[in-house]
Amino acid sequence: MIDSFPPGWLLIFGGLLVPLFRGRLRSAYMLLLPALGFLQLLLLPHGELLQVSIFDYSLTPVRVDPLSLVFGYIFHIAAFLGMIFALRVKDCGQHVAAFVYAGSAIGAVFAGDLITLFVYWEIAAISSVFLIWARRSERSYRAGMRYLIFQIASGVLLLAGTLAHFYQTGSLAFDYLGINSMGGTLILIAFGIKCAFPLLHNWLEDAYPEATVTGTVFLSSFTTKMAVYALARGFPGTEQLIWIGAMMAAFPIFYAVIVNDLRRVLTYSMNNQLGFMVVGVGIGTELALNGAVAHAFADILFKGVLFMSMGAVLLRTGTVKGSELGGLYKSMPWTATFCIVGAASISAFPLFSAFATKSMILSATAENHYAFVYFVLLFASAGVFHHSGIKIPYFAFFGHDSGIRCKEAPRNMLIAMGLAASLCIGIGVFPGVLYNILPFPVDYEPYTVTHVITQLQLLFWSAVAFAWLNWVGLYPPELRSVNLDSDWIVRRLVPRMFGPVTRAFARLWTGTLDQLGRRATATLQTVHRHHGPQGILERTWPTGSMALWVAILLALILLLYYL
């Protein structure tokens, strides 16, 4: 029975029943679903567990192997922690959307064919947008629409690539695809949109900060990591990904430093960390792939802590603008502490999670002689310490005192942050536990003298640079502003280029509708004039007149007949 029940369905269909429960029973039910789903994964045997035939096509909805399992584990953990964080939310719609979203992401990583992947891909896209719209503001509505356009475009490309791949190979199996065919290239672009490749990334920075306090936590866990899994499954060793990943790791640093919205800073930081994972997938060796998967696992946890802490700040203060915050450690000491753990983790401090995961990617880069990429990743590592390791906790909880005094985060939020922070430390202290579930055997020791000293030096000089720049006034100040990068094309250039054409078309369309409306009105008036209550054809005619008309009609018929 458990073999034929696809992973993720428990969350998808169980989540639809959340509105039937109330109070503590609802809370217990929401925590029980991901726990049961995790238990299901522990009992699943490896292999293709479920196969179906539709229109003579063989599909494999469930395939279990080490790569899918490690993502399945962390997705269930993320769902469990997210539900703890969201227990006080009264809006059932958010809970339903979160469960369907998480369940579809889990289903996607166990999909053994491209059609099944496409179905889950689209369910994830549609369900996740409701976590943005749930904020119920004009900004969130517009951001959600832009987000949905990108996500649907990814699905369309995935479907087109699947059809092209099937036409060229006759196979729908979701295994190594490569980019030697049109189908593979289209699928890579589809994955790249969800993974936030350069110039395809702005849906991430645009939409996530506009989601609800709890919605952003769920969004940070699934969409992009589902794409990382898909790249690791379909395109390992694709060298182009190395350079794409290096660019992803480097360019967000410059924007994250100047952005005022601290949740938007974290989205740029997410883009930066995804770059490391994409580099690992592009290198494609066992060490590199293990590093990419391990870093995705760790990123969900430490980025979850950071988004939770900023969500708690937003809940209690009503803002996450760095220019409006400061000194919150006095009011929210536990939240500040967990935020620091997340910041240390993403910065790869020794004894914290990224130290044990990011180093695998760096070692694989050096071993395969990508010297330039290696130094780009070092620069990116120093940069992430600046904007996530220092900027986030400094401007939110320390720095100048904003005078804001508020309550500490609710208990359920503190528990969720505490559990996630504990896992971050646990991975850093006991990396072997994570290494044991990675796709390939691990022969790697992160705690070498060289690695520890090198990383500490990198962090020390980065901290010195931040302190000096801040002291002399060269560090970009937190300003009330909106910064655009490549989304300037969508928000400014495209409207300016196509605005006149669009307005002309709108005027033509409006004029055409007006003309049709006037003609329709005239026609209706004519019909009413003849067939209305006072119309000539609606009057009561005398019998003699009716007989005369019948005679005339019969005469006309006889005349036509003889002619």
pLDDT, position 519: 80
Give the residue-averaged pLDDT of 7-11. Answer: 93
pLDDT, position 483: 67
CB atoms inside a 10 Å sphere around CB 525: 10
For the CA atoms of 427, 432, 438, 440, the dihedral, rounded to the nearest 10 degrees, stands at: 150
How far is Cα 356 from Cα 277, in angstroms, rounded to an integer?
Answer: 14
**CB within 8 A of 62, min separation 6: which ones?**
3, 6, 7, 48, 49, 50, 110, 111, 112
The candidate with the shortest Cα–Cα distance to 72, out of 153, 143, 6, is: 6
Give the residue-averaged pLDDT of 468-477. Answer: 69
The candidate with the shortest Cα–Cα distance to 280, out of 241, 227, 310, is: 241
Each domain of the chain, given as residue ranges in start order, spans: 236-494
Q: What are 317-374's pLDDT values in tens digits?
A: 999 988 888 889 999 999 999 999 999 999 999 999 999 999 999 999 999 999 999 9
* Residue 227 scores a pLDDT above 90: yes
Question: Which CA distances in Å does 75 have to 81, 138, 296, 304?
Answer: 10, 31, 11, 12
Instruction: Give the rounded distance of the alpha carbon of 103 from its chain centre.
Output: 14
Give the residue-averaged pLDDT of 382-405. Answer: 85
> Which residues of 8-154 form beta strands (DSSP E)?
47-54, 57-64
Instruction: Give the rounded distance of the alpha carbon of 65 from its chain centre.
Output: 24
Residue of 491 and 259 predicted with greater confidence: 259
The Cβ-side half-sphere exposure at 294, using a 13 Å CA radius, reads 34
* Dihedral sign of CA atoms 498, 504, 510, 516 in order: negative
Residue of 383 and 530 predicted with greater confidence: 383
Query: In this predicted structure, which of 105-109, 335-339, 487-491, 494-498 has the lowest mean pLDDT?
Result: 487-491
Rg (alpha carbons) of the chain, rounded to whole number: 30
How far is Cα 216 from Cα 83, in angstroms, rounded to an integer?
Answer: 12
Q: What are 60-74's pLDDT values in tens digits?
A: 899 999 999 999 999
CB atoms inside a 10 Å sphere around CB 407: 11
The candidate with the shortest Cα–Cα distance to 350, out of 295, 429, 285, is: 429
Q: What is the DSSP string of 102-136?
A: HHHHHHHHT--BHHHHHHHHHHHHHHHHHHHHTT-
**CB within 8 A of 522, min separation 6: which ones?**
none
Q: What are 14-63's pLDDT values in tens digits?
A: 999 999 999 899 999 999 999 999 999 999 998 888 878 777 778 889 99
Is residue 10 classed exposed, middle or buried when 0-12, 13-18 and 19+ CB atoms within 10 A define those classes?
buried
Q: What are 285-324's pLDDT values in tens digits?
A: 999 999 999 999 999 999 999 999 999 999 999 999 888 8
Task: Report the mean per-residue pLDDT for the chain.
Answer: 88
Query: In this predicted structure, which of 76-80, 253-257, 400-404, 549-553 has the lowest mean pLDDT?
Result: 549-553
